[in-house]
Amino acid sequence: MLPAPAVVTPFRAPSHTYGPGHRGVDLGGAPGVPVLAARAGTVVFAGPVGGRDLVSVLHDDGLRTTYEPVQPVVETGAVIRAGEVIGLLQPGHAGCVAQSCLHWGVRRDRNEYLDPLVLLRPPRVRLLPVPIPWPDG
């Protein structure tokens, strides 16, 4: 979504697999704004689940991002680029205090949810001391 939306509800990891928490972030927006893919990948689902439309994208590293409530403009099986429009934000996310909220989630495997905001942060580079003498090998 452009411009960068405000975080309305932050990620709160559950204390155990099925415990309470907030398994994503809610980003404030307005109905009808375009929703952009955070990263390149393959659309593995685009359509309704439990009365809400969503788009789910599988990335090359095995992470899966999910966006809802989003009216999809992509179809299951589509290969998408980072920043590509995948849908339009819909109103109606429960607990949203803004006009509309995008619930954006990221998971690894079936039950390991991650804070999606880490996908937006630049990678950290660490330099380690060089051993002297350099080991052969």
Q: According to the model, what pLDDT value does residue 40 have?
A: 96
pTM reported for the whole predicted model? 0.81
3-state DSSP percent of the chain in helix, strand and coil, to 5: 5, 40, 55
Q: According to the model, what pLDDT value does residue 61 have?
A: 93
Q: According to the model, what pLDDT value does residue 3 have?
A: 66
Average pLDDT over residues 20-44: 90
Handedness of CA 110, 22, 37, 70 (dihedral sign): positive
Q: According to the model, what pLDDT value does residue 115 have?
A: 87
Among 41, 38, 95, 40, which Cα is nearest to 67's?
A: 38
